[in-house]
Amino acid sequence: MSLEIKNDFGQIDIANDVIAQIAGGAAIECYGVVGMASKHQIRDGLTDILRKENFAKGVIIRQNGQDLNIDMYIIVSYGTKISEVAYQVQSKVKYTINKTLGMSVNSVNIFVQGVRVMNV
């Protein structure tokens, strides 16, 4: 599935994997996020943190017309306030998608899949 944008110059098709990569990159930049987790815990492994090239496995993109609904599966750092980290991820993803693609994000649902201790 892809997102279609039509303008005076032609048509642009954006794949859902591209949107997932943008959303995953924005989430990783937030304080308190250790990494992205797979949405299929049992099949892909419970303890795996996704690398940059696999962010699409931890993000689900749903489209309603021109609005996007995003589900994200993250792992947070031990000692951080989970609700605050989730709020920051929601805000950052909405802002990044809006500025990068010009699309409005209807909702960003955060699913915390685990808590990890950061090695400093």
pLDDT value of residue 52: 59
| Radius of gyration, alpha carbons of the chain | 15
Structurally, how many domains does the chain consist of? 1
Per-residue pLDDT, 6: 82
Residue partners of 13: CB distance under 8 A and separation at least 6: 2, 3, 4
- So what's the pLDDT on residue 38? 77
- Confidence (pLDDT) at 83: 94
> Residue 69: which CATH number?
3.30.70.1350
Domain of residue 97, residue span:
2-116
Q: What pLDDT, on a 0 to 100 scale, did the predictor assign at position 64?
A: 80
With beta carbons less than 8 A apart as the criterion, state whether 32 and 88 touch.
yes
Q: What is the pLDDT of residue 86?
A: 95
| pTM strictly above 0.75 | yes
Burial label, 27 (beta-carbon count in 10 A; 0-12, 13-18, 19+): buried
Profile the chain (120 residues) by mean pLDDT over runs of 10 residues: 81 89 92 82 54 74 85 91 95 94 91 79
